[in-house]
Amino acid sequence: MPFTSLNQFLPLRRRIIRLRKRWVKFRMGVDFDCTVIISLSTRFVARSPGMISIGAETLLAFKTLIVSHDPRFDADRAVVIGRRCFLGGGSMVLPGVTIGDESVVAAGAVVAHDVPSRCVVAGNPARIVSRDIKVGPYGHFLRQGSNANS
């Protein structure tokens, strides 16, 4: 049977991601909500279980790196990512960082300090570029105002 669309692989991809989440939860002790979506290339670095926590309806894009182990002190520092967040491709979250609910981390950003809720951060080191944003599940921006294009 010839393949007509890559969508034929979606059920397989979902099963693989579900298995990967179980493995990461078992091996690293990462605390996921069941609605979290992670890329197959997302990486977690933790020595102690429970040091990385990710809230509901959050999406971690490709090549995202979340680190809770701080080699300077040879200890783990908790990383908390809130609900309805989006972490862009190639972004990095360093030890001890808390990302507030409904925040967006731009692609390639290096988050070294806490991010308040409902903000967009970008850059290296990440800085706030927008505040009081409105996002839906998985960090999708909601349309605001009457000037939004259809």
* 45-82 pLDDT per residue, tens: 998 899 999 999 999 999 999 999 988 888 899 999 99
pTM above 0.85, yes or no: yes
Cβ-Cβ contacts under 8 Å for 74 (sequence gap 6 or more): none
Q: Which domain holds residue 46?
A: 6-137
101 neighbors 119 (Cβ within 8 angstroms): no
Within a domain: 53? yes
Within a domain: 99? yes
Which candidate, 68, 58, 86, 55, places its Cα nearest to that of 28? 68
Q: What is the mean pLDDT of residues 4-12?
A: 87
Within a domain: 93? yes
pLDDT at site 150: 44
Within a domain: 125? yes
C-alpha to C-alpha distance for 63 and 15, rounded to whole angstroms: 19
3-state helix/strand/coil string of 40-69: CCCEEECCCCCCEEECCCCEECCCCEEECE
How many domains would you assign to the chain? 1
* CATH number of the domain that residue 93 is part of: 2.160.10.10
